C-alpha cells in the first residue's frame, strides 16, 4: 500500500494565524481526502482533494477556512486559516491507490491553537 508522509507531525500555533499541512504520497493515488479528529472523537471528513480542480467540501466545512490544493497525483495541502482554539485537532490525510481496496491514512498532524 501507499506510504504517506504528513508534515508537520505537530505544531502549536497562535490564534488568528494559519497553518499549512502537507501530504506527500510515494505513488500516484486515485483519490485523496482530508479528515479532522477532535480530541476523544471519531474522524470527520473535511473534503475530497481533487487534482487540478477545487476540492469538494463536506457539510460544515468551507473553502475560506480550509483551503486545499492538489497540484498533482501525489501531493496535497490543507490550510487551517484564522485559527481558534476550537481548531485544535488531529488532521489526517487519506488516499486510495489503484488496485487497493483499503484507504491508507497518514499518521496525522496534531494541532494545538493557543
Partner 1 sequence: DAKTTQPNSMESNEEEPVHLPCNHSTISGTDYIHWYRQLPSQGPEYVIHGLTSNVNNRMASLAIAEDRKSSTLILHRATLRDAAVYYCILRDDKIIFGKGTRLHILP
Q: Contact residues for partner 1 (CB under 8 A)? A: 1, 31, 33, 35, 42-45, 48, 92, 94, 101-108
Q: Which is nearer to partner 1, 98 or 102 (CB)?
A: 102
What DSSP designation does 86 have?
G
Q: Please give the Cα distance from 90 to 35 (Å, whole number).
A: 8
Query: How far is the C-alpha of 31 from the C-alpha of 97, rounded, in Å?
Result: 7
CA–CA separation, 76 and 23 (whole Å): 5
* Closest distance to partner 1 from the beta carbon of 91 (Å): 10
Nearer to partner 1, 69 or 104 (CB): 104
Least Å distance, CB 110 to partner 1, is 9
CB closer to partner 1 out of 13 and 96: 96
Number of H helices, E strands in the chain: 0, 11
Nearest distance in Å: CB 1, partner 1: 8
Amino acid at each position: 500500500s501507499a506510504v504517506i508522509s504528513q508534515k508537520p507531525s505537530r505544531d502549536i500555533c497562535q490564534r488568528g494565524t494559519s497553518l499549512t499541512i502537507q501530504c506527500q504520497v510515494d505513488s500516484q493515488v486515485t483519490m485523496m481526502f482530508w479528515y479532522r479528529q477532535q480530541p476523544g472523537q471519531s474522524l470527520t471528513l473535511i473534503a475530497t482533494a481533487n487534482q487540478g480542480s477545487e476540492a469538494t467540501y463536506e457539510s460544515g466545512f468551507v473553502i475560506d477556512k480550509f483551503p486545499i490544493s492538489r497540484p498533482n497525483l501525489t501531493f496535497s495541502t490543507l490550510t487551517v486559516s484564522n485559527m481558534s482554539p476550537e481548531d485544535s485537532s488531529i488532521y489526517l490525510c487519506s488516499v486510495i491507490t489503484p488496485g487497493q481496496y483499503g484507504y491508507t491514512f497518514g499518521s496525522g498532524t496534531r494541532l494545538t491553537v493557543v
